[in-house]
Structure 1
Amino acid sequence: MTDCIFCKIINKDIPAKIAYEDEEMLVFHDIQPKAAVHLLIIPKKHITSLAHTTAEDTLLLGKLLQKTAILAKEFGLTDGYKTQINTGIGGGQEVFHLHLHVLGTPKPK
């Protein structure tokens, strides 16, 4: 998708503060954070929304969720955190590339 902002971030056409990257996903800090920690986890495969996933995407979805737990711990969200996937216009989705929000406040050390 040439007009997808998240695809442009994946392709490094637009800068982002990257927290994690592998061959299947990219994780970066939201530019308009709603919490002390606000990460976006996106698949590198363009999927418009959760409603557009297929059985073929099952393993990828599991990996995204598993990485959520790992990153939450790494970012100090040991008291808990919120995960959110907005799906479609009615669900508040603004960027039409599947993405998972991870929000929380690190536990003081």
Structure 2
Amino acid sequence: MTLLEKILCRPCIFCEIVEGKIPNKLIYKDDDIAAFNDINPAADTHILIVPVVHIDNIKTVTVEHADLLEKMKQKGIELLRERGHDPETSKLGFHVPPFNSIDHLHLHVIGGILKSRFRKLKYESGRMWYKEMVQLQADLEKQRRAQQGTPRL
């Protein structure tokens, strides 16, 4: 096997965490989602929430994933509150390919002050590389309406 083949065929690190192949990482898991602390936190609280079933990234998310995304969001809010953060002043969002580091859908749940100017920019709403959960959900709702032929309000 060539080096390129080894790189391209390596297993998904997030799938390995979800499967328990990397011990002591999970802080939450159920049949649909799992949560663990980011290895390089951008703030005091920085949790990643992933679907148990591998979904590549937000560009591969469809209307059928709406309930899963809502579950991810609600778990993120719950984990923020457990850690003393106000969800209204926290961040819940995704990096947009090609700006994501791991190709397994993962929600960044960030509470507290970001550690640097770079981190503020990296997780700043409205940038082409970062999309807030509420925006992704709104985009999917527009797609759902278009698929059903529902007129815009």
Greater RCO, 1 or 2 (C-alpha within 8 Å, sep 6+): 1
Larger radius of gyration: 2
- In the other structure, the counterpart of 2:94 is 85
* Percent of aligned pairs sharing the same letter: 38
Of residues 58, 70, 73, the one that matches 1:50 is 58
With the length of structure 1 as denominator, give the TM-score of the two structures: 0.85
Q: How many residues align?
A: 104
What is the CA-CA distance between 1:84 and the residue it aligns to? Answer: 2.2
What is the CA-CA distance between 1:55 and the residue it aligns to? Answer: 2.3
- In the other structure, the counterpart of 1:99 is 106
User: Which is richer in helix?
Assistant: 2
For residues 25 and 33 of structure 1, do their structure 2 counterparts lie closer, same or farther at Cα, with a shift above 3 Å needed? same
Task: Please tell me the root mean square deviation across aligned C-alpha atoms, in Å.
Answer: 1.9
Could you tell me which runs of 5 or more consecutive residues in structure 1 were left unpaired when the two chains were aligned: none
Q: Find the aligned partners of 2:63 and 2:111 in 1 and give their Cα distance.
A: 30
Moved over 4 A (4+): none
Q: Find the aligned partners of 1:21 and 1:80 in 2 and give their Cα distance.
A: 25
Q: Aligned AA for 1:36? A: D
